[in-house]
Amino acid sequence: MNAPQIVVHRDKELMAQAAAARLLTRIVDAQAARGSASVVLTGGRNGNGLLAALAASPARDAVDWSRLDLWWGDERFLPAGHPDRNDTQAREALLDAVPVAPERVHSMPASDGPHGDHVEAAAEAYAAELAGAARPENHASVPSFDVLLLGVGPDTHVASLFPEMPGVRETERTVVGVRGAPKPPPTRISLTLPAIRAAREVWLLAAGEDKARAAAIALSGAGEVQAPAAGARGRSRTLWLLDAAAAANLPRGLYPPASP
């Protein structure tokens, strides 16, 4: 298992811009190598900040948006178009501004969709969609995502995998319904750690003082059940992108000096 790489930026704005530049390069490289690329998006302030930085970047036109598959790591199980849904926020931040192919935008089911309020059935449907997109050479019943983005919560949760809850203990299913989440809304859909670990690269985003303890715990060798972020890793690369505030509790020898 490769050790995680840690990159620390001066502030959250610079972190978002640098992460956007990294992601654009990674997408272009993947499209050049394989014809298409796949990215798993994350919500929250850092995920949406990255998407807004992508939208503002002149380099966004280097991407062939028609050859990019977009998935989500988790979703709030709310009606389609609800302002708190991750896919709604992603469309506002980026997707409405770029020529993505609608059939390649794989939103998680909504609570007013064909599965109604049956979150477990909705999770099974998304798992089936992922399995249908997986190729024989992939390492799991999900595609080998080029980059899977995750925000890190103050409690070390990633996607909607919360410490000590059933979802983080899942070892077989790729998608689970989450009930009783400790932050609203309580009902969610989430990829599991096995699905996350099928990605070529996993990038974890954390900015702000409220993320400093979580980053320190997850990078100190904590168990994944107690600290889900510690269990999020990519097959070829695991990259932590932090601002200086989120890195405040890390040993200074663990990462290079923050970029100016």
- Assess whether the previous peptide bond of 58 is cis (omega < 30° from 0): no
pLDDT surpasses 80 at 139: no
Q: What is the pLDDT of residues 90-136, one digit of tens each?
A: 999 999 999 999 999 999 999 999 999 999 999 999 999 999 999 88
Q: With respect to residue 246, please indicate whether it lies within any of the assigned structural domains.
A: no
pLDDT surpasses 90 at 141: yes
Q: With respect to residue 249, please indicate whether it lies within any of the assigned structural domains.
A: no
Q: With respect to residue 103, please indicate whether it lies within any of the assigned structural domains.
A: yes
SS3 helix, strand, coil % of the chain, rounded to 5? Answer: 40, 20, 45
Q: With respect to residue 259, please indicate whether it lies within any of the assigned structural domains.
A: no
Domain that holds residue 166: 5-240
CB 205 within 8 A of CB 151: yes
pLDDT of residue 6: 97
Task: Give the total number of structural domains in the chain.
Answer: 1
Q: What is the pLDDT of residues 82-100, one digit of tens each?
A: 999 999 999 999 999 999 9
Q: With respect to residue 260, please indicate whether it lies within any of the assigned structural domains.
A: no
Q: With respect to residue 233, please indicate whether it lies within any of the assigned structural domains.
A: yes
> If we measure between CA atoms, which residue out of 15, 47, 17, 29 comes closest to residue 237?
29
pLDDT of residue 260: 46
Q: Looking at the chain, how many residues does it have? A: 260
pLDDT surpasses 80 at 259: no
Q: With respect to residue 111, please indicate whether it lies within any of the assigned structural domains.
A: yes
Q: What is the CATH number of the domain that holds 197?
A: 3.40.50.1360
